[in-house]
Each structure stands twice: as C-alpha cells, then as structure tokens.
Amino acid sequence: MSGAAAGRTAVIAGLGCHLPPDVVTNEDLTRRLDTSDEWIRSRTGIATRHVVDPGTATSDLAVEAGRRALDSAGCEADAVVLATTTPDQPCPATAPAVAARLGLGPVAAFDVSAVCSGFLYGLATATGLIASGTAERVLLIAADAFTTIIDPADRGTAVIFADGAGAVVLRAGDPAEPGAIGPVVLGSDGGLSRLIEVPAGGSRQRSSGVAPAPGEEFFRMAGREVYRHAVDRMTASSRQAAEAAGWAGPQDADRFAAHQANARILATVADDLGIAPERRLSNIERVGNTGAASLPVLLAQSAAEGTLTAGHRLLLTAFGGGLSWGATALVWPDVKPV
C-alpha cells in the first residue's frame, strides 16, 4: 500500500485522453476470424474498438493524451510517468521521448510496467514523487498500442484488446482537497505470471540462445482462469481501498470505475460490491480493453460526458498481467478534460 505523507499529497489537476482514429467493428473481425458479433457482444460487451494505423507507436498516443491533460490543468509538469505494456522499444523507456516531444525540458521521466494495472501503479508512484518533494507536478500517462502485441489469428484476445491513451496531471496539494490521492491498494501474484504473458523477446528467451517458436512473440492470456482472478482481486482490493479511505464500504461510491476488461466481469464485481448499475462507469462497448490506458480513458470520457462530476466519491480498481491489481478511492475534483 502506498500512502500520502500527512500534509502533502498529489491532487488531480487535469486530464485528457486520445484514441487513434481507426475504428474496427465486430463485423470487421468476423471477416478474418472464426467469431461473430453476437459472441463478442454477449461474452465481452464490446462492439467497436480503436486501433493504431501502421507506424503509430505508443509514444504517439501518449503525447496526444499528455498534451490534452496539460492543457486541461493549464500548467507544465516536472516529471513524466508513463504506464505501458507496449513501450516503443525494449530499451530505453518511452517516457523520456514523450517528455521531450511535449517540450517539458530535462524532467524526470520513466516507464511503469504493470500491464492493465499500470494506471493505479503509476498513480501510487506519482503520488510518492509528490509526497516526498521530488516533484511538484507529475504528468501520469497510461498508453498502450496493445494491438501491436496481439496475434491477429488468436480470437481469444484479438476481439478484446485495443489501443488508446489517457493522462492526468497531479499537483502537490492537501489530503483534504477534492482530487487528493490517498492510499492506493496494490498487489501481485507472480506465481501466476504465465496466465498473461508474451513468452519471447526478454532476457529469458534471449539468453537461451534459442530462437522464439512461431507465435511466442505475441501476447497470450488464459482467459477463463484470468476471468476468475480478475473478479476476486478487483472485488477484494475495492473493499480494501474503500476501508483505507475511511468509507463505510464500497457501496459509498457515487461512481465505480473498473478496468474495462470484460462487461461480465465488471457486472459481477459491481454486484458483489453492492454498487447500483447507474453508478457504474463503462465505455467498453466503444473502446474494448485498452490495457493500462483503460481507466484514464474511462475517466476522461466520463468527465467529458458529464457522468463523472465534481464531488462524486469515486472508487477505482484494475487487474492485469503479473498478475497485478490495485484500487483506490477519492473525491472527484472540478476538472474538465480538453
């Protein structure tokens, strides 16, 4: 768990998102995969998703979302944290290039790797930078060009994952202010890392001296098993986050934003937590699962559409590869995305 130091924490001051313009419908996918619009809608809740065009990288999405968040906050940042599963290259981190393209100068910039939990891990990290006095304003971006690691022939993942970027600007402020980040509940279970993985391309495979087998460079997910863990972990961490924030329980949430993994998972978690349907934020039908970007894209779209407004008590939770998960509870501030 990461907490804010008494008297000084991070406060959300701006947000924005960016989705690549190309939209792929379920019908489009049926032309190259043994699947159907009915299966995808009923099993996942997804109808359309945005995908990058050839040559577009994660940093391109991140720069757009980051610029919008900075414009929304009306300030610059002295640190950039980028949560991503799909860095532009294995080395170096992508955040320094993003900071440079945003004209932020020689600021601290690094990547956080926690797959679909990346935004919450990034939020805890950025809060620590501010609480310790290392930074005054952090630009936290979560961006994934997830389709670049998906096997186009794998119907179990190709219908779910998509591309996008979301960002928040965090400034130093008081723990009692709206938008203040309090304790972030974080966890992992590396014993189950094989349930979500890209087998090849890292030091394990490279040091073996054996070339990757066909398909090993692609993302793999044991969907049914992951499903069960996603429900358990998002439910439990949401309860912990509500308690850590001093709420009576998750049912205190005016709005619930969960990583947009699967509409059935989201409904089960929210039902278990006693959160009424009208309090659940969701955009999975339009954007699919955008990895680390999922939560900030959901927040930016919901704030833009008016379903998330100042004063709402907001419960956030995510789950992903690692396995990793997280949750936090806060009061939504008066910020408008650009």
Catalytically annotated residues? 116, 259, 289
Q: Which is nearer to ligand UT7, 94 or 260 (CB)?
A: 260
Phi then psi dihedrals of residue 325, to 5 deg: -155, 170
Q: Which is nearer to ligand UT7, 31 or 224 (CB)?
A: 224
What is residue 177's DSSP assignment?
A: S
- The SS3 assignment for 120 reads helix
Distance CA 321, CA 199 (A): 13
Q: Which is nearer to ligand UT7, 7 or 190 (CB)?
A: 190
Show Cβ contacts of residue 98 under 8 Å, excluding neighbours closer than 6 positions: 59, 62, 63, 66, 80, 82, 109, 141
Report the nearest approach of ligand UT7 to the CB of residue 248 (Å). Answer: 28
Nearest to 164 by CA among 61, 72, 22: 61
Distance CA 60, CA 165 (A): 9
Report the nearest approach of ligand UT7 to the CB of residue 46 (Å). Answer: 9
Report the nearest approach of ligand UT7 to the CB of residue 230 (Å). Answer: 4
Report the nearest approach of ligand UT7 to the CB of residue 193 (Å). Answer: 13
Report the nearest approach of ligand UT7 to the CB of residue 260 (Å). Answer: 8
- Residue showing the smallest CB distance to ligand UT7 in the complex: 223
Distance CA 289, CA 308 (A): 20
Q: Which is nearer to ligand UT7, 156 or 212 (CB)?
A: 156
Distance CA 189, CA 208 (A): 25
- 220, 197 contact by CB (below 8 A): yes
Contact positions toward ligand UT7, by CB under 6 A?
35, 39, 43-44, 116, 155-156, 159-160, 223-224, 226-227, 230, 261-262, 265, 289, 319-320
In angstroms, the first-to-last Cα distance of the chain is: 32
The tokens for 263 are 């509409």
Q: Which is nearer to ligand UT7, 69 or 116 (CB)?
A: 116
Nearest to 298 by CA among 65, 127, 21, 2: 65
Report, in this order, helix, strand and coil percent for the chain, each rounded to 5: 40, 25, 35
